[in-house]
A and B are shown apart, each in its own frame.
Chain A
């Protein structure tokens, strides 16, 4: 089965990982999960992750540091952040390091999350289309 895109879900809460995983699988994405930033980077080094949905406060390596590493090493990966600690520093940091958005927990529906993923997908599709056009052009 052709998956739309591959999403890496990073959160230290298992129930949240499972919940988001099931949701995006239902929508036709392939999902990976990780407990913290370090595990996330390990997974990304072996798998193509088009998008990242990550919590900010996690043990070992948190979302902020993960975001910085990913923007540096995987510039085409879109990063959607989540946080339970709604504080100015968190939001500013996400913004400055190029995250798509930062979603506040608790959230009771997927609207904002789906919008962000759709927008990221649209961006990726756009560039894929461009690359496709160039490949078709004769030298």
Chain B
């Protein structure tokens, strides 16, 4: 495979100069395009997209400096390194050359070896810069992807906290349901002809028992429907919560978001917390990822619930209001609050006050990441009469 030969555009009004230069450049192994008329050089550059441009300083019509300025204005040519070739008498014009955007100059008569070195240096510099830019772009993409994964990981960790409670929440209605189904099975032989498959319960089929069976069924069936609904609801909540978020930001109502979080936590951490909320208005619109803001609130609520180890439920107060161009949320609890020495550390990833094995410590770190992603802020303070209070500020969506 032929190694790619870089293209060098040379512009010089003197024919002899131009020819000599072209020869030298070809000898160095580069492709060369030579233009004598500086006015045509711009069009030529646009068409050929050279890797490096060598301009003579003094040219009639369009001077080297003017041509350089024009080249720098073109989107596809702005980054191409430009080297001026100047006569000894023009050295004082160096400043002009650099201001126009040149990266170097070479003094005529041009030394072939020096020319070769300068061209090689600038080409490799340019190549290196291009690779670096690409690398930085890739790194940024990777970092964004990692951030998304981390947010998702925290979400799953939160889910883990829920699981013990969820298992309990599903197992109770499931128990009632299972038992009731067996009961209906037992009732069958009391209500109709007995078949070989019926469970032998040694209960006589008399009027008393039949009445009992029918009356019980009237109560059992609605109870079964109710339990089935509870199970389905819990499964739905889990599915919703563990779904990976959307990529694009969308408009959503913060009040819905807060209500969802409260509903989820109340159901799952039933006896551990009592949540009171006050919203100044029912519609507070933001632009962002609703699921992530829910994650933030759920994290804060769970932290509050777990700050107290006794059986007494934690009281949590959530307030939402909007003022000016921002929405304000405060989540306040009556737990033990945050120890002053821990205050600066709580935002650090992996900082936790829980015993080893419980909690990853990612929670507040992720919360802050999500806030930054949404252009918002979160701060914490201890309440006057005990407990911690988190204050969130998020920008409202611009009124359409």
Residues in chain A within 8 A of chain B (CB atoms): 13, 15-16, 18-20, 22-23, 25-28, 57, 59, 84-85, 105-110
Contact = CB atoms under 8 A, between A and B. Distances in A.
Interface in B283-304: none
Contacts of A27: 201, 203
Interface string B173-205: 111101111110010000000000000010100
B223 A84 contact: no
Contact of A16 (B168, B176, B271, B311): B176
A109 B182 contact: yes
B179 A23 contact: yes
Contact of B220 (A22, A109, A110): A22
Contact of B168 (A15, A26, A85, A109): A85
A105 B171 contact: yes
B125 interface: no
- Chain A contact surface mostly: loop
Interface string B207-232: 00100110010011001001100000
B167 interface: yes
A63 to B, nearest CB: 14
Interface of B: 164, 167-168, 170-176, 178-183, 186, 201, 203, 209, 212-213, 216, 219-220, 223, 226-227, 271, 311
Given A84-B168, A85-B164, A15 B178 contact: no
A78 B332 CA distance: 46
Nearest to A59: B271
B171 A15 contact: no
Contacts, number: 76
A1 B2 CA distance: 105
A19 B212 contact: no
Contacts of A22: 183, 216, 219-220
Contacts of B173: 13, 15
Given A18-B223, A19-B223, A22-B216, A106 B178 contact: yes
A57 B164 CA distance: 13
B178 A108 contact: yes
Most chain A CB inside 10 Å of its own CB: which residue of B176, B203, B216: B176
The 6 closest A-B pairs by CB, nearest first: A15-B176, A106-B174, A108-B178, A19-B179, A106-B171, A106-B175
A23 B183 contact: yes
A127 B96 CA distance: 115
Nearest to A1: B208
B182 A26 contact: no
Contacts of B216: 22, 26
A47 B346 CA distance: 54
Contact of B172 (A16, A20, A23): A16
A50 B174 CA distance: 27
A105 B67 CA distance: 84
